[in-house]
Amino acid sequence: MTITETQIKIMKLSSGEEIVSELLGDEHPRTFSVKSPLKLLSIPKVGKQGIEESISLQRWIHFAEENNVDIPKAQVLAIVNASIGLSKFYEYCVNKMDLQDSDDAHGYDSGDFEEDIMHEEEELLDEWEPESKLVH
């Protein structure tokens, strides 16, 4: 499963929850249709620089038979595009959860995720050019 970054959205709900999911459609006048919604959690940690935040994605609805969910538009306060990094982390988590559900021995592991992130950073650095070569 390869998902383009623009398909992955963060939805802020009136309950205060933030959901990361693939937006399938908003044609229905009263609901958004999403696939594999995961709840976004921010976890504070004490690090070398002081308090740092890391994120965690967990299932929003447990033990469901289907991955598609309709969310009432009245419950959604905001929708924004997820960053590239969050989109890749979301894809990694969905693949891991699918792997756990199917008990398959092959899949996307943390080494692959770290490799993808490093590759993405290298591509961004290769494309970046400074505006000026002047050193102050």
CATH number at residue 53: 2.30.30.100
Residue 14 reports pLDDT greater than 90: yes
CB 51 within 8 A of CB 57: no
- Examine residue 1 and state whether it is found in any structural domain, yes or no: no
56, part of any domain: yes
* Position 2 in a domain: no
Is residue 133 in a domain? Answer: no
- Structure tokens, 92: 């990694």
Domain count, the chain: 1
Taking 60 as the threshold, does the pLDDT of residue 4 lie above it?
A: no
Instruction: Assess if residue 78 is contained within a domain.
Output: yes
pLDDT tens for 67-111 read 999 999 999 999 999 999 999 999 999 988 887 766 544 444 445
Between 3-12, 109-118, 122-131, the lowest mean confidence (pLDDT) is in 109-118
For the stretch 30-78, pLDDT in tens is: 999 999 999 999 888 888 888 888 889 999 998 888 899 999 999 999 9
Query: For the CA atoms of 12, 14, 17, 20, what is the dihedral angle to 10 degrees?
Result: -30
SS3 97: helix
Q: Is residue 84 part of a domain?
A: yes
In a domain, 40, yes or no: yes
Residue 134 has pLDDT above 90, yes or no: no
Which among 34, 86, 25 is positioned nearest to 60, based on CA atoms?
34
pTM over 0.75: no
Question: Lowest-pLDDT range, 3-12, 63-72, 90-99, 124-133?
Answer: 124-133
> What range defines the domain where residue 117 resides?
7-127
